[in-house]
Amino acid sequence: MTSDFHPSPLAFEPSKFTRPFWDACRRHVLQAASCNACSHLFLPAGPVCPQCWSADLGAEALSGRGEIAAFTIYRQAYHPDYPVPYVIALIALKEGPRLISNIVGCAPESVASGMSVTVRFASRGEFVLPLFVPAMAEDSNDA
Ligand SMILES: [Zn+2]
């Protein structure tokens, strides 16, 4: 092994519970696990509803819109495929579930808690990732 060996941070195998989420991302659909017993929406998907413990689960497509609940700006590089600075954020999705992702399409210094964001899908190797951009930037791209 040389010092140039950098295994991909995305070299993982989705579980039978999380695979539907990643398959939906390939279709550019952000979806949450849904509980057929109590209607709770949650991420990541798992074997039971974290609210009522029912195993009667489905999936529901989300709007892809939300707000930044918390964030940090990474200034230390941990992998050559991820040049700094970049933003890791906890996103409170409009429908309730929370998701950790990157904020892209803006200067890291412009990111703020409470900022409205919308999903933008990006291919990374064999995965399609749900990244987020400021909602204003997404709106201007629609024009
Ligand atoms: Zn439930």
Q: Which tens digit of pLDDT belongs to each residue from 20-77?
A: 999 999 999 999 999 999 999 999 999 999 999 999 999 999 999 999 999 999 999 9
- 70 beta partners: 90
Ligand 1 centroid to residue 39 C-alpha, Å? 6
Residue 52 Cα, ligand 1 centroid: separation in angstroms? 4
Q: How far is the CA of 34 from the centre of ligand 1 (A)?
A: 8
**Are residue 71 and residue 50 in the same domain, yes or no?**
no
132 & 71 share domain = yes
Res. 2: pLDDT tops 50: no
Q: How far is the CA of 81 from the centre of ligand 1 (A)?
A: 39
Measure the CA–CA gap between 81 and 84, rounded to whole angstroms.
Answer: 10
The DSSP letter of residue 50 is T
Same domain, 54 and 35: yes
Distance 56 CA to ligand 1 centre (A): 8
Q: Within 27-117, where are the H helices? A: none
Q: Say yes or no: 120 and 57 in one domain.
A: no
Domains identified in the chain, total number = 2
Between the CA of 111 and the centroid of ligand 1 the distance, in Å, is 34
Quick one: DSSP state of residue 91? E
Ligand 1 centre distance from Cα of residue 41 (Å): 8
17 φ/ψ angles, rounded to the nearest 5 degrees? -85, -35
Tell whether 7 is covered by a domain: no
**Cβ-proximal residues to 88 (8 Å cutoff; 6+ apart), any chain:** 71, 72, 74, 100, 101, 102
* Torsional sign, CA 66, 70, 73, 78: negative
Instruction: Enter the tokens of residue 10.
Output: 């995305």
**Summary mean pLDDT of the chain:** 91
